[in-house]
Structure 1
Amino acid sequence: MRQPMQVYFVLYILCCVFSIFVITSAVDTIVVTQSIRDGQTLVSSGGNFELGFFSPGNSKSWYIGIWYKKISTMTVVWVANRDTPLNNTTGAFKLVDHGILVLTDEANNAIWSSNSSRAASNPVAQLLDTGNFIVRDGNSDAGNITWQSFDHPADTFLPGMKYGFNLVTGLSLVLTSWKSPDDPSRGNYTNQLDPNGLPQFFLREGPTVLFRTGPWNGLHFTGMPNLQPNTIYKYEFVSNQEETYYTYQLINNSVVSRMVLTPDGKLQRLIWIDRTHSWNLFLTAQVDGCDRYALCGAYGSCNINNSPACECLTGFVPKFPKDWNGADWSHGCVPKTPLYCGAGEGFLKYSGIKLPDTRQSWYNRTMDLDECRDVCLKNCTCTAYSSLDITGGGSGCILWFGELIDKRVYTEYGQDIYIRMAASELPAYGSSKGKKQARIIVIALLSFGMALLGLCLMLYVLKKKPKREGIILYNPGPIQDFTTGNENDDLELPLFRFATIAYATDNFSVKNVLGKGGFGQVYKGILTEGQENKEIAVKRLSAYSRQGFREFKNEILSISKLQHRNLVKILGCCIQEEERMLIYEYMPNKSLDSFIFDPNRSILIDWPKLFHIINGIARGLLYLHQDSRLRIIHRDLKASNILLDYEMNPKIADFGMARIFGGDETEAKTSRVVGTYGYMPPEYAIDGLFSVKSDVYSFGVLVLEIVSGKRNRGFRHPDHNLNLLGHAWRLYKEDRQLELIDKSEKESCNPNKVLRSIHVGLLCVQQCPEYRPTMSTVVLMLSSETALPEPKEPGFYTGRYLSEMDTSPVKQEGSSTNGLTITLLEAR
């Protein structure tokens, strides 16, 4: 009897020792062979944060989350499965192969998983003392992070988090409120840094803007003067070509502080007070009634010290006086005296102002305020200007185009802004000095007009005697827009001499030909600028081209006013005798089709790079449709019109078929259908109707081609006669989407990203234009983990007979290898 007792005693001691070992070892990490279940947690190395299962308040649902370990009141800062809760405590949270985190239910069904653009060969998941839960490659250094919770916040902004967007990865962080204190699922309120124009944060309820921080002015956001240096935390705003974000760090590590978006839509900074065991409000984004977005409408200003708070700016009057006097200020104000460009207009300075909404703005970091004024004065659509950075006396330039919305007056921390006014509204007008100045201006304008007329006559004479040397860089003057029929302002596009381009291309040598298309040929050239040589691509209009002067001028008009990292940059043009040429930046990796449709070259580009290209094209289209000064419909988006620079960044090219839309124009019809079959949406190919949704359709085709490595037009499959869209739709309906992946991408692909790309592509190619998403929605869908709607049947889904295709007189689009590819014009 004694021996069994000794055995039990030894087993008991061993169990105790084992328990102590489990509790005290590696509690901040898990590997592929481990999982976390109810009652088990990870604790960060310094003991600041804990990760595990929790059930908030009176809820009966269970979630995986992260909360503060050292404070008495449980405060959750991150939730993984916020929209897909567990019904009981039998779930498991684990790390699987390639570094994917998965939460499973009692039936071992995955109800939530992370995604990553990079796979980890020996993944380790670790909870850091910052509250960031990361997945890293255990074979590499600790900085090799393949996924992190800081990139996917819930309702809380923690110290060290980069709160903004990344232009390289397409990642954009969004704070989303809980539905209620007992329900962490996504609520109605979001806060996000908007990349349009000069970046600024927007607090929204659904799609409705509630509050705007205003842009960063070097010290704080112009709409948050209460954001001041303090003893609790230090903050920083970073903006460069790769990323833009706001971040903060605690000065004293013993202090616990967080930013949170509450279920009732308040953006607050809270500090934990250990003495009272409660969170203390330190700062709130919305201070008073004047922080309500656009309360006073266009050209109205809000002053919380006045009653009523709204008033029109000096020189402006209520648009609807009756409504305005009845405290309905939403329609705003209009200029007292209408503006006529060049009629002695000037700018009136306003001080102590929260700068207007900058989504319709342009900015430059190197210009001074005088240069800013000159640029704005020369552009009739420019309504105001201001300094970009107010530190050190001020620097940089912001220009506004269109109405000025959401302004308020601050007594101490506001900023100066200069707003365009008619001459009669300027202080000097009416005085003898002002009249004298007006006379001087009129005389100067008349003199300038006569001189300009003489110059035009001289240029006309010189045009009959073309010279063959030197580079001319001057404004070619207004060019008629044959698409819209409107006369445009000076384009300020450099005009090169024919001799300069001929010299750069070695007299258009055959060895410099990059490719050819319906326009003519494209040549590589070396342009000498001072002591440096610059590579260029020259697009030369052929005398026998199926495209003509209409497309040449249209491309100049469309692209000369556009600046975006995902659009090809035009350097100038050449118009001499019968010669018509466009000069572009040179793209060394040529066009996208030369990679994805070439079996030998497709292995040189992996899935992360392809996904980067998809996002870049999406952002370029978003800029054309929404963020540029002009709304541009490309109308010929295809793989051969996507060029790749040295770093494989995509740039949309060939704007010969583009159409400029007016401010309230959303759709147009043409009897001259141009473009490339396979990329045209049904409503355009059949009825000549086109809109922004036409480009969305072409983008969807392009996404499916990138994923599959196959052309939509000319696609063949042994099991059916469907085109690529029909094939992708069929695989989607049968839940076999991954079979669409090109074999060269399978090893490097992230299945979640691929499935999401296919899903988005199918949403874009739906038959009905109304069902297709806008490009702003597409960009959001590609960069987030939100649930996607079910796509409907794609356009041109019906099967076809191979014999009919083989004998069709319409040519297929040929593969292009030029650095600047040309649109193939085809009759309807």
Structure 2
Amino acid sequence: MDLWYISYCACLLCLVGRIRALSHSIINQSQSLSDGESLVSEGGTFELGFFSPGSSTHRYLGIWYKNIPVKTIVWVANRKTPIKDRTGVFTINNTGSIQVTSRTSGVIWSTNSFKATKSPAIQLLDSGNLVVIDEKGIYLWQSFDYPSDTLLPGMKLGWDLRTGLNRQLSSWKNSDDPSPGELSDGIELHEFRESVVWKGSEKYFRGGPWNGEQFSGAPDLKVNSVYDYNFISNEDEVYYTYQLKNKSVFSRLILNDSTSSRQRYVWAESSRAWNLYSLVPYDYCDTYGLCGANSVCIITDSPRCQCLEGFKPKSLNSWNSMDWLEGCILSKPFSCESKDVFVKFSELKLPDTTKSWVSGTMNLQECREACLKNCSCMAYSNLDIRGQGSGCALWFGDLIDIRQVSNGGQDLYIRIEASKKAGRRVVNAVLISLITVAVLFGLVLFRYYLSRRKTKVKGIVLGRDHWPSEGPKEDLELLFFELATMVNATDNFSSNNKLGEGGFGPVYKGTLVDGREIAVKRLSKSSEQGLNEFITEVKLIAKLQHRNLVKLVGSCIAGEEKMLVYEYMTNGSLDSFVFDQTRRTQLGWSKFFEIIGGMARGLLYLHQDSRLRIIHRDLKASNVLLDSELNPKISDFGLARTFQGDQCGDNTERVVGTLGYMAPEYALYGLFSVKSDVFSFGLLLLEIVSGKKNRCFHHHHHHGLIGYAWRMWTEGTPLELVDSSLEYETSSMSEILRCIHVSLLCVQQSPDDRPNMSTLVLMLNGESTLPQPKEPGFLRDMIPVEITCIRSSEYDDSCTANEITFSSFGAR
């Protein structure tokens, strides 16, 4: 017995010694780290060990945040060569080379070997950097030089020109596979260095060149309370880096393959989740080369692409049909003999710098003269915009990927045909004076005319009596269509062109004279959407620019007629796919999952990233439209409400929306917030998974579809909710289960328990731990509603119900 006790104590001491060794941040030659053990940085910020991503069983050596409950991987060693079992071991040899080996496959991954080094060791720093150090503490190798998909504070994104080392980010393929995906991010080494995100071998997003303050096409990169940033460019190195202002704050920059974006997240301790801080591409104009050569993308214009002054479309037919890839050419070739051939453009992301030349010593005047001396020179600009500006950058050949930047950007001087400006100099001083007086007099008359008669709207003139008595008469950058144009486009609102009808009136397909297809929402004269709701929708959508929100082309007001003109969505609304078993089969789960992600990003933009916080209040399948590629676009903003600053909700005496999609607190008490939209989103998820409409779902007296889903969840059989006609691979089962889980989190009774959209996006992408849902909010038994279900061979459970807006049920 005594012998057994002694042996036991000896083993225990060995184990304690082993754990103690690993509790330090250093591993030396005599030590190793096996699967199941971990190495923690000295301050306890980061941890290194073996892990399995998502639903995968493969093992990888990686680094993650130690004290954040959502396991967030920031670096992976063997991302291309997973270990198939749990026999992985992490070691360092006498040359300072570190290795990951497995009992079954031998060496899985290793670093370069160095000359024999005395006492090499591996250390995990509190910055998240894994380093190999010699006895003098000199770094022989560091993980910061070989990033995965994440850029941490203090990391360098760019080049070491002395060694040719290029530090690039590369996305994970998906949440289950950390091997390099389609996206990569780094610095291009042209004369004028700039940041670029690639998708495969093609440029996908260009942040623009560094102008001394920021990258000219990255307006989100500005002075803020979270982090400081810098760009270094000299003979030895070219890189971007950032540092956190508050060491207690966690922030990371990642490439996300599933959303095709570069995202910055900040950890929110209050919600215990990563909140999306910024992302690129931000809008349609961020698409690389969208408008072709010698043109500018202006996100608030329609069309977005405009030829630069002095240029014309290369192919007028293509340009008018919104095919801008051929770009623009000079209206008339310029002459190298003239010296007055530059037009100044402001607030631009500078063109692609592939064909550029720079000088740090020239001033702007010298820069102009240098451009004039070379007939291939098309534009010039300052290299650095700080102070009065300094340095010179020249562009040769076509100007590619220019966009207007509302917050940031810089001046660009573009060369055009000389006579366009030379002729202006022959006017004598007397004539100029007369013209000046005439113009001033005309402006006075024009302002008087506007003050008495009309309010200017870009492209249209609307009478003041068309606008509500309260609120600003703001300029809306939209087209105005005459009633005759709408009549002709829709064949006099022919029933053959009718696409559908909602609570506010019918929607018709139309074709303009230039061939563009449109959808015309014609407000019913008996509709409860009056002028206020109409103006609300116009003003809201005019300001919204996101790939997952429907684009408003223009409007029409004529007498009692009020119409909204949208881009035409080839595939109609989402409900035509969700509730039709044949079309569901054609789509399959993978496409539905993409649609779910797109809807989530659209709502995230409305709630958090748009200029105003917007609550939709009527999210449902029929208000999500699908374009030709089945990309979802949220539509119908007639009931939406906007808020400034941190306000995220309100209450109302007039409850409006569609019964069956409303959150209980809104339907019963008029209380609405961003969490009301989250509730509707959760219901929509359940409908997509089940193929059933919540409003006409009956199953053993449960509380509609929500109640049925809750019962299946609590009984441990959530997959019984999945429609049998939904085509999906076995590998997609985890995505479906995650969506059911997320949907139940969205429809919880208390709004405070429901996640916000930034957290939802992370949850859907598998980047956030999912808490257990609480009991959902059952609305069906609280409010009586007459529903008639119709059985047919085409739909399993289609139904008709009153979908118009309704008022509150009683006094508050």
Give 1:316-355 correspondences, 5 Å limit.
none
Distance 2:491 2:722 in 1: 43
Give the deviation of 1:744 after TM superposition.
Answer: 2.5
Distance 1:497 1:172 in 2: 55
Give 1:267-346 correspondences, 5 Å limit.
none
When residues 397 and 757 of structure 1 are mapped into structure 2, their CA distance, relative to the original with a 3 A threshold, is: same
Pick one of 709, 713, 738 that aligns with 2:719.
738
Task: Name the SS of the counterpart of 1:706 in structure 2.
Answer: helix
Pick one of 630, 635, 640 that aligns with 2:612.
630
Distance 1:488 1:166 in 2: 48
Contact 1:363-1:398 at 8 Å conserved across structures: no
TM-score, structure 2 normalization: 0.52
C-alpha offsets along residues 781-814 of structure 1, whole Å, 9 cap, x if unaligned? 22243212222111116768xxx97xx4467899
Task: Name the SS of the counterpart of 1:615 in structure 2.
Answer: helix
Distance 2:86 2:698 in 1: 40
Contact 1:563-1:569 at 8 Å conserved across structures: yes
Matched, 1:488 2:467: no
Pick one of 392, 398, 401 that aligns with 2:405.
398
Give the deviation of 1:130 after TM superposition.
Answer: 10
C-alpha offsets along residues 512-569 of structure 1, whole Å, 9 cap, x if unaligned? 111112222211111122xxx1111111122333433333222212212211111111
Give the deviation of 1:416 after TM superposition.
Answer: 8.7
Task: Name the SS of the counterpart of 1:694 in structure 2.
Answer: helix
Tell me the equivalent position of 1:747.
728
Contact 1:681-1:694 at 8 Å conserved across structures: yes
When residues 631 and 450 of structure 1 are mapped into structure 2, their CA distance, relative to the original with a 3 A threshold, is: same
Pick one of 42, 50, 53 that aligns with 1:64.
50
Matched, 1:78 2:62: yes
Matched, 1:216 2:215: yes
Distance 1:504 1:100 in 2: 58
Tell me the equivalent position of 1:277.
none
What residue identity is the alignment partner of 1:228?
Answer: S
When residues 168 and 268 of structure 1 are mapped into structure 2, their CA distance, relative to the original with a 3 A threshold, is: closer
C-alpha offsets along residues 192-243 of structure 1, whole Å, 9 cap, x if unaligned? x9xxxx999xxxxxxxxxxxx98533799786444326667x77x9xxxxxx
Give 1:569-584 correspondences, 5 Å limit.
569-584=551-566
Tell me the equivalent position of 2:129.
none
Distance 1:568 1:603 in 2: 25
Pick one of 620, 634, 640 that aligns with 1:658.
640
Tell me the equivalent position of 1:728.
709
Distance 1:766 1:590 in 2: 31
Unaligned runs of 5+ in 2: 1-31, 42-46, 53-59, 70-77, 89-104, 113-146, 158-165, 182-196, 198-204, 223-227, 254-276, 302-345, 357-379, 382-401, 413-435, 796-800
Give the deviation of 1:637 after TM superposition.
Answer: 0.4
Give 1:330-729 correspondences, 5 Å limit.
386-389=347-350, 393-394=380-381, 396-400=403-407, 446-453=444-451, 456=454, 473-476=459-462, 485-529=470-514, 533-718=515-700, 720-729=701-710
Task: Name the SS of the counterpart of 1:770 in structure 2.
Answer: helix
Instruction: Compute the RMSD of aligned alpha carbons.
Output: 5.9
Distance 1:702 1:607 in 2: 15
Task: Name the SS of the counterpart of 1:574 in structure 2.
Answer: strand
Task: Name the SS of the counterpart of 2:533 in structure 1.
Answer: helix
Tell me the equivalent position of 1:43.
none
Tell me the equivalent position of 1:825.
805
Give 1:1-80 correspondences, 5 Å limit.
53=35, 55-57=37-39, 63-64=49-50, 78-79=62-63
What residue identity is the alignment partner of 2:447?
Answer: G
Distance 2:679 2:720 in 1: 22
Give the deviation of 1:641 after TM superposition.
Answer: 0.4
Tell me the equivalent position of 2:18.
none
Contact 1:524-1:536 at 8 Å conserved across structures: yes
What residue identity is the alignment partner of 1:568?
Answer: V
Task: Name the SS of the counterpart of 1:476 in structure 2.
Answer: strand
Pick one of 768, 783, 797 that aligns with 1:786.
768
When residues 576 and 769 of structure 1 are mapped into structure 2, their CA distance, relative to the original with a 3 A threshold, is: same
Distance 1:792 1:606 in 2: 30
What residue identity is the alignment partner of 1:78?
Answer: G
Give the deviation of 1:485 after TM superposition.
Answer: 3.4
Give the deviation of 1:415 after TM superposition.
Answer: 8.1
Give the deviation of 1:129 after TM superposition.
Answer: 9.0
C-alpha offsets along residues 113-139 of structure 1, whole Å, 9 cap, x if unaligned? xxxxxxxxxxx9x978999xxxxxxxx
C-alpha offsets along residues 258-302 of structure 1, whole Å, 9 cap, x if unaligned? x99999989999xxxxxxxxxxxxxxxxxxxxxxxxxxxxxxxxx
Give the deviation of 1:167 after TM superposition.
Answer: 13
Distance 2:611 2:180 in 1: 26
Contact 1:386-1:397 at 8 Å conserved across structures: yes
Task: Name the SS of the counterpart of 2:775 in structure 1.
Answer: coil
Distance 2:171 2:464 in 1: 40
C-alpha offsets along residues 657-689 of structure 1, whole Å, 9 cap, x if unaligned? 111223343322211111111110111100111
When residues 655 and 738 of structure 1 are mapped into structure 2, their CA distance, relative to the original with a 3 A threshold, is: same
When residues 547 and 262 of structure 1 are mapped into structure 2, their CA distance, relative to the original with a 3 A threshold, is: closer
Give the deviation of 1:695 after TM superposition.
Answer: 0.9
What residue identity is the alignment partner of 1:728?
Answer: A
Contact 1:591-1:640 at 8 Å conserved across structures: yes
Contact 1:613-1:649 at 8 Å conserved across structures: yes
Contact 2:654-2:806 at 8 Å conserved across structures: no
When residues 615 and 370 of structure 1 are mapped into structure 2, their CA distance, relative to the original with a 3 A threshold, is: closer
TM-score, structure 1 normalization: 0.51
Tell me the equivalent position of 2:9.
none
What residue identity is the alignment partner of 1:397?
Answer: Q
When residues 386 and 368 of structure 1 are mapped into structure 2, their CA distance, relative to the original with a 3 A threshold, is: farther
Task: Name the SS of the counterpart of 1:605 in structure 2.
Answer: helix
When residues 735 and 580 of structure 1 are mapped into structure 2, their CA distance, relative to the original with a 3 A threshold, is: same
Contact 1:713-1:812 at 8 Å conserved across structures: no
When residues 557 and 756 of structure 1 are mapped into structure 2, their CA distance, relative to the original with a 3 A threshold, is: same
Unaligned runs of 5+ in 1: 1-49, 67-75, 86-93, 107-123, 132-148, 175-192, 201-212, 238-245, 247-258, 270-355, 376-384, 402-413, 418-437, 460-471, 816-820
Distance 1:478 1:492 in 2: 17
Contact 2:283-2:547 at 8 Å conserved across structures: no
Give the deviation of 1:572 after TM superposition.
Answer: 0.9
Contact 2:592-2:688 at 8 Å conserved across structures: yes
Give the deviation of 1:360 after TM superposition.
Answer: 15
Give 1:186-205 correspondences, 5 Å limit.
none
When residues 813 and 770 of structure 1 are mapped into structure 2, their CA distance, relative to the original with a 3 A threshold, is: farther
When residues 450 and 773 of structure 1 are mapped into structure 2, their CA distance, relative to the original with a 3 A threshold, is: same
Task: Name the SS of the counterpart of 2:532 in structure 1.
Answer: helix
Tell me the equivalent position of 1:228.
233
C-alpha offsets along residues 100-156 of structure 1, whole Å, 9 cap, x if unaligned? 9987799xxxxxxxxxxxxxxxxx9x978999xxxxxxxxxxxxxxxxx95689998
Contact 2:556-2:564 at 8 Å conserved across structures: yes
Distance 2:61 2:246 in 1: 12
Distance 2:714 2:543 in 1: 43
Task: Name the SS of the counterpart of 2:517 in structure 1.
Answer: strand
Distance 1:786 1:607 in 2: 21
Give the deviation of 1:618 after TM superposition.
Answer: 1.0
When residues 669 and 717 of structure 1 are mapped into structure 2, their CA distance, relative to the original with a 3 A threshold, is: same
Contact 1:546-1:825 at 8 Å conserved across structures: yes
Contact 1:528-1:534 at 8 Å conserved across structures: yes
When residues 776 and 228 of structure 1 are mapped into structure 2, their CA distance, relative to the original with a 3 A threshold, is: same
Contact 2:150-2:252 at 8 Å conserved across structures: no
Contact 2:350-2:410 at 8 Å conserved across structures: no
Q: Using the aligned pairs only, state the percent identity.
A: 41
